[in-house]
Structure 1
């Protein structure tokens, strides 16, 4: 007889009232879903600073109820970069009281994004700041020596992002800046000059009015000193230039936004290299609107570099048909394009 049928009647009675234990679902009984809450009650905020998974944001900007608070990110945003300058939607405790923590649930569409890559061969981009209108490229006339090719890279990144570059040259009381500025004579570039201890603050505040500017420059050029002059309570750390290497010491460790009148300035850590592996060369040409119009007559695939055959821009310059600064603008364009190649 099978063991399945060889069961005593008494055994049936023994198990009649037995209740099997059902292992509870540790994740709850509700089925998982990809449908996320709409968070219709979320408040819009500006990201002021990022520090180890915490985000300081400003809510109700420009109103009597304006306040800043600390937030974290929602789980669904864990793979997305949230950077200084972002506009985000925040829920949770938004009182800003000490010890409270809000939660970022959405990143709003960005107007501009400033990026860089590890090097020119790396197409993986790193977002530096979002929604900047201006790039303040801070360069010292001396101590440390200015680096024209690094400035070229900043310009390429600005043009690619659709951000207006402004060149701020410091320490003009130490060295004549004109030889350095001659490298950029062909560009329609606003230049602001300052001595080591005196910035033209009225001019700078006028440029920043109603705009968000990101300040870039390698260490030791006076970038944090500029921020402290515009925002006295910023207290950004400043450092000296190493007498042996001629390089500045990194003093700013993170990007932070500061209000300047009706505008904002974002101070960034000193950057000694600026990879451009992510940049589209067509965006560089678009920034030279006069040359871009002529380039429509170029053969397909024209690089506009000195060895490019039948380049309409080169031909116009050689014929003297692009005005007094045509040759200088072409030289600037070619130098920036060569930076990418």
Structure 2
């Protein structure tokens, strides 16, 4: 049976890439009964009706799946935050990082507009960048007119299925236009997607770029923790996950428990205090969530 990957979903059709061709497919009716909804990024089996049309018969197991945007099997999230206008907020970045980690997606952090802050602000941003690099995240700084940008960032896309995310106004579309001028000329879709109006048809599409796939989507619109349990949260903070096994209690929440290795690391400076503060805020949010039945 032929196999392929869904690269676009639109108006009830799924466009499956199989080798060098696209096959327009419908989902099998039985999927609805089983509450299975094929997603862009899914690897599927399909029955070919002819060279251009078919029916999806099986969806292979997913590495991960997102609800907003509806997409599966993402390897990497490129998080775009501005240094200024709007100002950089580590709380919002940590929220993105926590959600992305929970879906087993590798984050990459890009700080744009690094030519705007004054010397004192640049020093503060440099400290944040070093903190996140020490945790294990890649952090890139982008300045206006940086001609080396494409050479530095395009390799990130190779071999990965990536989604772009970040708050409004941080320069995502400018970044894409700098990185992918040839894609802009070919399709005109990615930059448009980042500025879609509320009443414009929205769809998700994976586009081949530099040996990888980039999702044509406005990015994460859901940053809640409804899918995360309180015992899981610290596992999505890599520096806490590393130290948790040394805590006295196996399900230590790193708040009031004695002999907590995470709190000890905060006190010694091994974990930035602001990261721990954000963790406690997120934990309180999860614990105040209404029970699900």
TM-score by length of 2: 0.77
Q: What is the aligned counterpart of 1:111 among 43, 46, 63?
A: 63
| CA pair 155-293 structure 1, distance change in 2 beyond 3 A | closer
Which residues in structure 2 correspond to 1:80-159 (within 5 Å)?
80-93=36-49, 95-96=51-52, 101-115=53-67, 128-159=70-101
| CA pair 281-183 structure 1, distance change in 2 beyond 3 A | farther
Tell me whether 1:327 sits opposite 2:271 in the alignment: yes
Q: How many Å separate the matches in 2 of 1:109 and 1:57?
A: 16
Q: Please provide the CA RMSD for this pair.
A: 3.0
Please list every run of 5 or more consecutive structure 2 residues that lacks an aligned counterpart in the other structure. Answer: 285-293
2:275 partner SS:
helix
Q: What is the aligned counterpart of 2:215 among 261, 266, 276?
A: 266
Q: Deviations over 1:111-166 (max 9, x none)?
A: 23345xxxxxxxxxx67321111111112223344443332222112211111100
Which residue in 2 is equivalent to 1:63? none
Q: How many Å separate the matches in 1 of 2:14 and 2:204?
A: 11
Please list every run of 5 or more consecutive structure 1 residues that lacks an aligned counterpart in the other structure. Answer: 1-40, 61-65, 116-125, 240-247
Which residue in 2 is equivalent to 1:160? 102
Q: What is the aligned counterpart of 1:192 among 135, 140, 146?
A: 140
Whether contact under 8 Å (2:5, 2:41) holds in the other structure is: yes
1:326 partner SS:
coil
| CA pair 84-198 structure 1, distance change in 2 beyond 3 A | farther
Which residue in 1 is equivalent to 2:188? 235
Cα deviation, residue 75, structure 1: 0.5
TM-score by length of 1: 0.67
Which residue in 1 is equivalent to 2:23? 69
Cα deviation, residue 314, structure 1: 1.5
Whether contact under 8 Å (1:114, 1:157) holds in the other structure is: no
Whether contact under 8 Å (1:86, 1:110) holds in the other structure is: yes
1:89 partner SS:
strand
Tell me whether 1:206 sits opposite 2:206 in the alignment: no
Whether contact under 8 Å (2:42, 2:72) holds in the other structure is: yes
Larger Rg: 1
Which residue in 1 is equivalent to 2:113? 171
1:81 partner SS:
coil
| CA pair 171-235 structure 1, distance change in 2 beyond 3 A | farther
Whether contact under 8 Å (1:81, 1:127) holds in the other structure is: no
| CA pair 149-234 structure 1, distance change in 2 beyond 3 A | farther
